[in-house]
Amino acid sequence: MSSEAAADHDFPFQEGDTVLVRARENGTSGTIQVKFTAECVDISENPAGTAVARFPMPFGVMNSVTIRPYEAEFEVVEDD
C-alpha cells in the first residue's frame, strides 16, 4: 500500500498535514489520555499490514509515535 493510498483510505489527512490527535482510553471512545498537535511525517503500512501514521513528538521522551486509524481521533489543523 502506498503512502497516498493509505492516506486516502484510512486517515482523514495526508503526509505534511498538521493534525490535532486525541488518543482516548479505548481508541475513539472513553476519556482523552493524550492530546497533541503535530505534522504527519509518514503514512505507511506496518509489517502486520495495517496503515500507521507517524508524528514527531514535541517532548523529549520519544522521537516519534506511530498511530493506527482506530487508535485515536484526528482533526486537520489549518495553517495560517
pLDDT in tens, 17-70: 999 999 888 877 888 888 999 999 999 988 888 899 999 987 766 688 889 998
Residue-by-residue DSSP string for 3-30: HHHHHHHH-SS-TT-EEEEEEEEEBTEE
How many domains are there within the chain? Answer: 1
- Domain of 8, CATH number, reads 2.30.30
pTM of the prediction?
Answer: 0.77
**Would you state the pLDDT for residue 30?**
83
Q: Beta 18-26 vs 29-39: how paired, if at all? A: antiparallel
Which residues span the domain enclosing 13?
3-76
